[in-house]
Structure 1
């Protein structure tokens, strides 16, 4: 079951006909458990079981004998009131080597938070309204203290608004609203998600062509974005994409006067990299991008763009940034990290604690 984006105000206005939950930032995961047999599947049905042996072991111990659950796998790091979700660390768990999986399962163990019930014992709950599914889920999973958890919910708009602002400090994405009377509908966007959105002025440092681009009709696929760090270096911070075909043609033509040789570009020293690196250098390969053409056209860093983004993951935008407008009034060198909001710290353990 999927969600469509809305505003916090619109979602809260639906109360008391919805339940609101924290939105975890991890891998969406359907769990199938029958005795000691446990299978984990991603949202697009790819198997996840082999990557999270510690989660499978915990589910054998903590979950009902037979059930099908919808939830999220996540990794959290930190201690002493500083525990938070770490999506980049979670991504490292998807690895072909069994030895590395075993090592990471011990070093950065994952957890699972359940937020919906599809089946329990011999009974299917998928056709039942969410209010019934939630009640059965609480009865079946109540009291879990980890590494399997039951997500918390609220019908109080004021509490949900507090969650929206506070829980981001623990690495959460936002808030999800679920209609009380809705059945579980795969691939239907019957839920609502409310995510943080901020803006930043960034430097356009290059572009990649769209997969449908041809020499006769070049089309822009994505813009490569940068911010200057404290040492005055232009750091790759993410991309902006999702343009119409008409806009793709307009942008690639508009940017041609800025095209330069890679040797004259701030990222020219990255030519030497052939594999993924900690800075996620543009044009390099990783296990997430095998077979994709990641080459890019360098641009003189003279144009500033205002983009919308939800939140940061390390030194980069967590998701694709959204094009808002050109900022011809901004000097590229003035675009640094200091303009970005820093969420107030919040401990994930407090969100997951039994309440």
Structure 2
């Protein structure tokens, strides 16, 4: 398939807000792809690279070579070039990588160059988010949507599932199972304003400490251990103490779900930024281990010695977990039906410096990749993970800095973002410096006052309430919104939706 076909599909997706039309565009493109290209096509239209990281930054793409006049570049050729970029290393690799990049881009037309640049930087806004992509795979392959959804949850990404569905139909999708060494999408929690609201009257629930750290999925196969983040990126080599912990567990093959957090000498958790810096750093792991120790707590067991536990009730998974993992590496939890006891546990966790609690249904299965009713998080304040849509230049002491950010929630029906307000509160000087550079990198256009950006940077916002507002298209606005932190561990597709915002207000 010519890359030009993908570029046109991307443009068609941007030009319509109708979900059915988006699904039809993607399904037609998947059907037109060659068998060996389907996975790559699905990945690119999902704004995902099969290689995950190419090591190509904004500076490398700030100046493009002369473009080709005729569209001849194929999807397979792009994938091959990306594979070279991802695997080239060692002495002289910089020059080699520049040559690969120049050769690729010089063969692309101007519109293809812009598409490839966005793809390499993770900033193609084309609307083929999960809901559209999975429906398109089901339509193109003529298979049940539920079969596609479960396969993607277990495979992690849409690309390989599209390939399986198009080549083998429903039976190929049903053959997709949990594989040790391949990360699956983590189960997510809904939100409730307080513990009582998260409890089911008269029904004992499990309450677990909610840690403000990095979600960690641990896979063990013999002596080999792999660690993956919430976004399915591998960070094994950065956490040697966690590797040692998992390797010592008495099982041959395992998949565990947990959280790791940097801790102070007194045992209290460090702010998220400290943990994020530790897990993102490529510095010497031994040095980091000494300077920034981690505490890891596992709370779920998904697989043990060739037995999948995903569909077993949570209580059974926890029973197996407790028999396997030492108490020092397990999450703190209680089992109670008393709202009073639950509220006291919540208060104790907040007092200890943690985010709050997660209330879990003891009978729930592990719903990989979904935010269901089985898990409900409770924090001591209202927070949302929103997407930055634009940024305004500051004034006074903030002159020359990008300051006031425009906040958007995701509309799950269209894949677009709905503005909920602006804020400049909660920003430190360091944060202002960072976002001034960051948002100029994401710029799509600007005027004298505002820089408009690709909607991909997620920010965690605290707020006091939601009010109706005719000023914004969603008909509501956040009250006293303030920045808590930028969430580089989340993609725009994982941001909170308009429905979540309305639920907070009870609308």
TM-score scaled by structure 1?
0.59
Match of 2:408 among 242, 259, 262: 242
Task: Show the 5 A alignment for 1:161-310.
Answer: 161-190=343-372, 191-197=375-381, 210=389, 221=390, 241-242=407-408, 248=419, 278-281=430-433, 283-285=435-437, 291-293=441-443
CA deviations 1:297-346 (Å, max 9, x no partner) are: 898xxxxxxxxxxxxxxxxxx822347469xxxxxxxx9x9xxxxxxxxx
How far the C-alpha of 1:177 sits from its partner, in A, is: 1.5
- Conservation of the 8 A alpha-carbon contact between 1:282 and 1:295: no
SS at match of 1:54: helix
Q: 1:6 to 1:198 in 2, by over 3 A?
A: closer
CA deviations 1:260-286 (Å, max 9, x no partner) are: xxxxxxxxxxxxxxxx97455354447
2:311 paired with 1:127 = yes
2:248 match: 61
Take 1:319 and 1:251, find their aligned partners in 2: how far apart are those partners?
A: 14
Unaligned segments of structure 1, at least 5 residues: 200-207, 211-220, 227-231, 256-275, 300-317, 327-334, 338-355
- Conservation of the 8 A alpha-carbon contact between 1:240 and 1:320: no
2:200 paired with 1:43 = no
Take 1:66 and 1:39, find their aligned partners in 2: how far apart are those partners?
A: 11
How far the C-alpha of 1:130 sits from its partner, in A, is: 0.9
SS at match of 1:93: helix
Take 1:84 and 1:58, find their aligned partners in 2: how far apart are those partners?
A: 19
Take 1:285 and 1:233, find their aligned partners in 2: how far apart are those partners?
A: 14
CA deviations 1:214-239 (Å, max 9, x no partner) are: xxxxxxx367999xxxxx99999995
2:37 match: none
SS at match of 2:334: coil
- Conservation of the 8 A alpha-carbon contact between 1:241 and 1:320: no
2:282 paired with 1:97 = yes
Q: 1:30 to 1:237 in 2, by over 3 A?
A: farther
2:330 paired with 1:149 = yes
1:3 match: 189
2:294 paired with 1:110 = yes
1:77 match: 264
Count the aligned residue pairs. 261
2:218 match: 31
Unaligned segments of structure 2, at least 5 residues: 1-186, 450-458, 469-479, 483-507
- Conservation of the 8 A alpha-carbon contact between 1:114 and 1:149: yes
TM-score scaled by structure 2?
0.43
Take 1:86 and 1:56, find their aligned partners in 2: how far apart are those partners?
A: 23
Structure ID, larger Rg:
2
SS at match of 1:4: strand
How far the C-alpha of 1:14 sits from its partner, in A, is: 4.4
Take 1:159 and 1:76, find their aligned partners in 2: how far apart are those partners?
A: 27
Take 1:41 and 1:154, find their aligned partners in 2: how far apart are those partners?
A: 29
- Conservation of the 8 A alpha-carbon contact between 2:322 and 2:330: no
SS at match of 2:433: coil
How far the C-alpha of 1:5 sits from its partner, in A, is: 1.0
Q: 1:26 to 1:12 in 2, by over 3 A?
A: same
SS at match of 1:128: coil
Q: Which has the higher contact order (CA 8 A, sep 6+)?
A: 1
Q: Which structure: greater helix fraction?
A: 2
The two structures, once aligned, show a CA RMSD in angstroms of: 4.4
- Conservation of the 8 A alpha-carbon contact between 1:74 and 1:110: yes
